[in-house]
């Protein structure tokens, strides 16, 4: 049986091998994605973001348990910012959710972001497609929240959760990072912490200031370890997914995702073609330092092969 057929039949070893192909961009990855594309678009994709220590892994762990009780098949893609020097993630699946290791309705995979043109590798979306084609119905994609990674996660997800933890002393910092605005649902984690209520009020005030609507429904307080609020959050997520499927937002988002991937791949093809070590580049660099040429002027010259 070939790999695509194996994945469609729910063979987990074929899925694992396929994910490696996609992550490493090995030969066969492209062909695999082409074959699986018509079989994607069924799963609900949920992006989970928030600062380090906000409790993302703990929340996902609790949501997996609740989703399994409802019969969902759950896959998690944990995107770790990769090291600029080694090109790989420093820690992988080792320290991640291991409590579902014996449940074949749960699949957890870590992936390093390559950081080429953004914080989320374009192949993270392809990995989600593989989960989708393999019959998982609820997909989580998790990343450390900051800047570009969040925007990328929101673009690859149907629903985005943003987590904040009380008592971190950095609530203002979390807000200034702009990650609030990409969320569909805001989650205050560690809800049994005495400062959780204050953080919820702070969030509601910030969001009202920003003009967001239906706030009381969209800000959730969850104590994942005590299993408080988890079932309610999952119900909201699934309801939002069902509503988006009914009104066509789901299909539109899927088209946008494909379009976005084409444009990202095209931008990358362009960037790859640029010469990085030519006498022309050295000359242009010296002219900029001498005050003789602008950076954009030099970029144009580089693209046109030297005609300034």
In this complex, which beta carbon is closest to a second copy, that of residue 81 or of residue 105?
A: 81
Output phi, psi for 305, to 5 deg.
Answer: 80, 20
Candidate residues 148, 232, 252, 306; the one interacting with a second copy per rule CB under 8 A:
148
Shortest reach from residue 187's CB to a second copy, in Å: 17
DSSP string, 232-269: HHHHHHHHHHHHHHHTTHHHHHHHHHHHHHHHHHHHHH
Contact 116/268 with Cβ under 8 angstroms?
yes
Size of the residue set binding a second copy (CB under 8 A): 87
Q: Which of residues 156-215 bind a second copy (CB under 8 A)?
A: 168-170, 172-182
Shortest CB 209 distance to a second copy, Å: 10
- Taking residues 72 to 101 in sequence order and writing x for each that binds a second copy by CB under 8 A, - otherwise, the string is --------xxxxxxx--xxx---x------
Of residues 215 through 274, those in contact with a second copy by CB under 8 A are 254-255, 258-259, 261-263, 265-271, 274
Q: Does residue 9 touch a second copy according to CB under 8 A? A: no
Backbone dihedral region for residue 69 (phi beyond 0: left; psi -120 to 50: alpha; all else: beta): alpha
Segments in 134-229 forming alpha helices (H): 148-156, 171-176, 196-209, 215-218
Lay out the site mask for a second copy across 104-133 (x = CB under 8 A, - = otherwise): ---------x-x-xxx--x---x-------
Question: Using the rule CB under 8 A, which residue among 104, 214, 246, 296 binds a second copy?
Answer: 296
- Please report how close the Cβ of residue 255 comes to a second copy at its closest, in angstroms: 6
User: Measured from the CB atom, is 39 or 68 closer to a second copy?
Assistant: 39
Considering only 26, 299, 306, 308, the residue that binds a second copy (CB under 8 A) is 299
- Applying the rule CB under 8 A, the residues between 31 and 60 that interact with a second copy are 31, 33-38, 41, 51-53
Least separation, in Å, of the C-beta of 237 and a second copy? 21
Using CB under 8 A as the binding rule, whether residue 293 contacts a second copy is answered as yes
Report the nearest approach of a second copy to the CB of residue 104 (Å). 27
If the CB atoms of residues 225 and 281 are measured against a second copy, the closer one turns out to be: 281
SS3 helix, strand, coil % of the chain, rounded to 5?
A: 50, 15, 35
Write out the DSSP string of 4-24: HHHHHTT-HHHHHHHHHHHHH
Cβ–Cβ < 8 Å for 266, 292:
no
Q: Collapsing DSSP states into helix, strand and coil, what is residue 279?
A: helix
Q: How far apart are CA 86 and CA 94, in angstroms?
A: 18
Q: How far is the CB of 248 from a second copy (least distance, A)?
A: 15
Distance of alpha carbon 93 from its chain centroid, rounded?
A: 16
Separation of alpha carbons 6 and 265, rounded Å: 27
Residue among 153, 175, 8 at smallest CA distance from 78: 153
Nearer to a second copy, 94 or 216 (CB): 94
- Give min distance, CB of 258 to a second copy, in A: 5
**Selected binder of a second copy within 26, 147, 197, 217 (CB under 8 A):** 147
């Amino acid at each position: 049986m070939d790999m695509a057929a194996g994945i469609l039949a729910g063979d987990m070893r074929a899925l694992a091998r396929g994910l490696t192909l996609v992550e490493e961009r090995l030969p066969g990855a492209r062909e695999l994605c082409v074959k699986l594309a018509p079989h994607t678009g069924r799963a609900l994709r949920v992006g989970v973001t928030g600062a380090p220590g906000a409790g993302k892994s703990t929340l996902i762990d609790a949501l997996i348990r609740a989703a399994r009780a409802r019969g969902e098949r759950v896959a998690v893609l944990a995107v770790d910012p990769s090291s600029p020097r080694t090109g790989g993630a420093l820690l992988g699946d080792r320290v991640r959710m291991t409590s579902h290791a014996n449940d074949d309705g749960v699949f957890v995979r870590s992936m390093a972001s390559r950081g080429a043109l953004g914080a989320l590798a374009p192949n993270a979306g392809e990995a989600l497609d593989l989960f989708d084609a393999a019959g998982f119905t609820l997909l989580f994609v998790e990343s450390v929240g900051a800047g570009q990674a969040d925007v990328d996660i929101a673009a690859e997800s149907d629903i985005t959760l943003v987590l904040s933890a009380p008592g971190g002393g950095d609530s203002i910092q979390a807000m200034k990072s702009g990650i609030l605005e990409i969320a569909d649902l805001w989650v205050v984690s560690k809800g049994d912490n005495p400062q959780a209520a204050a953080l919820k009020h702070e969030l509601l005030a910030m969001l009202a200031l920003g003009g967001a609507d239906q706030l009381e429904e969209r800000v959730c307080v969850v104590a994942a370890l005590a299993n408080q609020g988890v079932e309610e959050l999952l119900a909201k997520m699934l309801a939002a997914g069902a509503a988006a499927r009914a009104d066509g937002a789901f299909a539109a988002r899927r088209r946008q995702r494909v379009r976005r991937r084409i444009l990202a791949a095209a931008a990358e093809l362009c960037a790859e073609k640029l010469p990085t070590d030519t006498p022309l580049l050295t000359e242009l660099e010296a002219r900029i330092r001498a005050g003789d040429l602008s950076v954009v002027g030099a970029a144009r010259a580089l693209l046109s092969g030297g005609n300034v």
